[in-house]
Chain A
Amino acid sequence: MAVEISKRDYSLIGKDSQLAEAMGLASAEWYACPIPRKRLKELMQRKDGPAIRDTLLWFALLGLTGWLGWHFWGTWWCVPAFLVYGVLYCSCSDSRWHECGHRTPFKTTWMNDVVYEIASFMVLRESTPWRWSHTRHHTDTIIVGRDPEIAVPRPPDIAGILLGFFSLRSGPKEYKKVLLHCFGKLTAEEKTYIPEMEYGKVFLTARIWALIYAAVIAWAILIHSILPLMLVGLPSFYGAWLLVIFGLTQHAGLAENVLDHRLNCRTVYMNPVFRFVYWNMNYHLEHHMFPMVPYHALAALHEEMKADSPKPYNGLIEAYREIIPAILRQVKDPAYFVKRELPASANPFPAAVPEAQAAH
């Protein structure tokens, strides 16, 4: 039965932000599946090998498809080339941005940081603001008024979600922020999660981005063609669709304001190609509960956790059979959410979570 709830304020400086703090939901202690320390240490170990292999393959595929798009420009053959190039440029960058932001894929720190900067540019997320935004996302996962990365606030904005498949809403907003940062300013919300000592880095990166875009636009004007923009800039839009398909599986339709990732994260089994593109972020529950475990060990971590976790989804279709109806129902009934069920072998969910009280 639907329960009347007041409209939630997802901004980080509104009433729900204060409410989250008052309810003890901000920077709170979260449930963790019991894994022996010795095993967890093994899973946390860093290696350079897998990430170097995957990154070289990624850049090689980017180079090949970009060259094909360039070579076949003006014919229909450039369409499939740019289709793949766009996914590699933007959707693949989403997971690289994410993983390297945690500095876990590579053992060598500078490798994480270099790939992070490149991926941030390609997925159109300014590196420093988004590092801090994502830090908050991990502190307060899907806590209303605290988490700046809630992809589907309630009631869901269906048009906004559809526009997101080509970054048509987030992209222009990000460019406005780049411009703002070029002038040495931040938004009020950004000031709530970016420490002052990082401001200089934000402004410098924004100015470097502006220079890159200016150079590419100048090149396009010079040769009277949008081809340079098809290679740099526009792929952040036309290549975003797979990122959204993957990304919505993470939390959409699940509980808000709970302190157990088993309630608000999904793990979805995927094929090896998708797992390469998504760098194993389909093991999203595992990642949130133990973010220090690198992507190449998440499948093994999943084996350790699954007896204490809800059943994973057997592919994207099974996940979307749940997500699409849940989102559509939330349009009319924002109090609705999907309640995850645990196997008999699992530790129970924490008692009296606010969301569970609100809707059940």
Chain B
Amino acid sequence: MSDGWIKTCNVDDIEPEDVLRFDHGDRTFAIYRTGDGKFFATDGLCTHGKVHLAGGLVMENLIECPKHNGRFDYTTGKAKGAPVCVDLKTYPTKVEAGTVFIQPG
């Protein structure tokens, strides 16, 4: 798609307050859906243990890593304390005709 937007999944593929793994080429992303239907995207691996965040738990604006329970604010990428110290990269998202797109840059 133009301007670097990539089709990832359908809106209904992710439950409210949940996360989905999306692989593209050699990169992996995590796509989040908030309780009120907004979508966000970050790098797919935890910056601490290189574990897929899509196996973790979404709690409001936080994603908890399934391996060491490190937490990030997935709307900003901010690391929220030990054992995660390095922020996540975030990416723009948009929804068109029921499809979620990200712009990985």
Contact = CB atoms under 8 A, between A and B. Distances in A.
Interface of A: 27, 32, 37-38, 41, 44-46, 102-104, 128, 131-132, 135, 138-139, 195, 197-198, 290-292
- Which 6 A-B residue pairings sit nearest by Cβ, starting from the closest? A44-B57, A135-B83, A102-B69, A135-B68, A292-B66, A292-B57
Contact of A292 (B18, B50, B56, B85): B56
B67 to A, nearest CB: 6
Contacts of A198: 82
Nearest to A139: B49
Contacts of A32: 55
Contacts of B18: 37, 41
| Secondary structure class of chain B's binding surface, majority of residues | loop
A41 B66 contact: no
B95 interface: no
Nearest to A195: B85
B46 to A, nearest CB: 11
B85 A197 contact: yes
Contacts of A102: 69
A32 B49 CA distance: 16
Q: Determine chain A's interface SS by DSSP, over half rule.
A: helix
A41 B33 CA distance: 14
A46 B66 contact: no
Interface in B55-86: 55-57, 59, 64-69, 71, 82-83, 85
9 contacts: A41-B57, A45-B57, A103-B71, A131-B82, A132-B83, A135-B48, A135-B68, A139-B68, A198-B82
A46 B59 contact: yes
A37 B18 CA distance: 10
Contacts of A45: 57
Contact of B82 (A41, A132, A291): A132
Contacts of B57: 41, 44-45, 292
B67 A291 contact: yes
Nearest to B67: A138
Given A46-B59, A139-B49, A103 B83 contact: no
A131 B69 contact: no
Nearest to B69: A102
B31 to A, nearest CB: 14
A267 to B, nearest CB: 19
A291 B68 contact: yes
Contacts of B50: 27
Contacts of A44: 57
A135 B48 CA distance: 10
Contacts of B15: 38
Which of A38, A102, A139 has its CB near the most chain B CB atoms (within 10 A)? A139
Nearest to B20: A37
Interface in B13-56: 15, 18, 48-50, 55-56
Contacts of B82: 128, 131-132, 135, 198
B83 A131 contact: yes
